[in-house]
Amino acid sequence: MREVRRGALPDGLYGAELERRIAETAAAVGERLTTVPQVSNPAVAFVLGSGLGGVIDLLDPEPRLHVAYGEIPNVPGSEVAGHAGEIVAGVAAGRPMLLLSGRAHPYEGWSHRQATLLLRACLTLGVGTVVLTNAAGGVNPEFEPGDVMLISDTINLSGENPLLGPNLDALGPRFLPMADAFDAGLRAAAREAADRAGAALREGIYLMLSGPAYETRAELRMLRTLGADAVGMSTVHELLVARHQGARVLGFSLITNKATPEMEGEVTHEEVLQMGPIGAARLVTILRELLPGLA
């Protein structure tokens, strides 16, 4: 049995090894991007949550480059329905952008460091603005399925943090300030874009749990007491690594279901996927207005 040193992280992916894999992954992605010069220097990256593949329609029809996660070293794939598992590189509003269509979730067995490795690689390639999206349950009783929520802040109750372990000093600080993690200017621009598009935009706090089980009614009462407006199983670990590397971050939740103690019946993943296209269409309307000012 291999000896594990005191304080070692269980997945072995930290410190010099993590740094090596980020560099290897970035090199592989960068090499693929150079095959299409128009997208070789992306400034913006989107992380697309469940049912949000339609955001790809914001890209110009040509040029586009599709790279499956399975073709990129060190990148875990996702087995969850509604997640394509590929990078789509293209141009929108005259700017090269990367769309990470689907994510590997920690509840699938990946550590937060593994689950954010691809985003780390994209940031290393020069991405300076990250837009995070997710499907979430509406803890706020005023929220309805199909609403789009601009994320103003987060609460991490996932039980993990991707910055655990030796700090990667070349990428960011040991102690990361998070009081104003979502960029105020981008949030203001999102509100203005929603007004121009005539699209309703909620705003609130997103809380991350580990999943994969949906919440009990007692847990939902607790979440509302803590101040959460929406709950999900992703996003916060991505926010942490993006801010660690100095990127500006904007976040949106698609409210796919009621997550209040008074809700009727049980939540299902099929319900989440069914509501995705409705919220996605609203989000695309907002993003189309927002894109010119993103980078």
The domain spans of the chain are 15-293
Question: Which helix (H) or strand (E) covers residue 88, if one does?
Answer: strand 86-92
Annotation says 50 is catalytic: yes
Give just the sign of the alpha carbon dihedral 67, 71, 74, 78.
positive
Cα–Cα distance list, 85 to 43, 53, 99, 101, 222 (Å): 21, 10, 10, 6, 33
Q: What are phi and psi for residue 109, nearest 5 degrees?
A: 110, 0
> What pLDDT is recorded for position 202?
98
Q: Which amino acid belongs to residue 83?
A: H
Catalytic residue (one of 111, 140, 234, 253): 234
234 as an active site residue: the answer is: yes
Per-residue pLDDT tens, the chain, 295 aa: give them. 344 445 678 888 999 999 999 999 999 999 999 999 999 999 999 999 877 777 888 999 999 999 999 999 999 976 655 446 899 999 999 999 999 998 899 999 999 999 999 999 999 999 999 999 999 999 999 999 999 999 999 999 999 999 999 999 999 999 999 999 999 999 999 999 999 999 999 999 999 999 999 999 999 999 999 999 999 999 999 999 999 999 999 999 999 999 998 877 676 667 666 766 777 889 999 999 999 888 6
**Does the pTM exceed 0.85?**
yes
Which one-letter DSSP state was computed for residue 75?
Answer: P
What does the angle CA 61 – CA 249 – CA 225 come to, to the nearest 5 degrees? 125
Active site residue 233: yes
Burial class (CB in 10 A: 0-12, 13-18, 19+), 144: middle
Q: What is the CATH number of domain 15-293?
A: 3.40.50.1580
Over the range 248-283, which residues count as b (16 or more CB within 10 Å of their CB) and which as e? bbbbbbbbbbbbbbeeeeeeeeeebbebbebbbebb
User: Quick check: is 140 catalytic?
Assistant: no
CA angle 242, 134, 101 (to 5 degrees): 75
Measured CA to CA, the distance from residue 162 to residue 195 in angstroms comes to 35
Task: Tokens for 7, please give them.
Answer: 């304080």
- Catalytic residue, chosen from 14, 26, 45, 50, is 50
Q: Is 214 a catalytic residue?
A: no
Catalytic: 263? no
Give the pLDDT score at 2.
Answer: 40
pLDDT of residue 293: 82
Residue-level pLDDT at 3? 41
Of 107, 160, 161, 281, the active-site residue reads 107
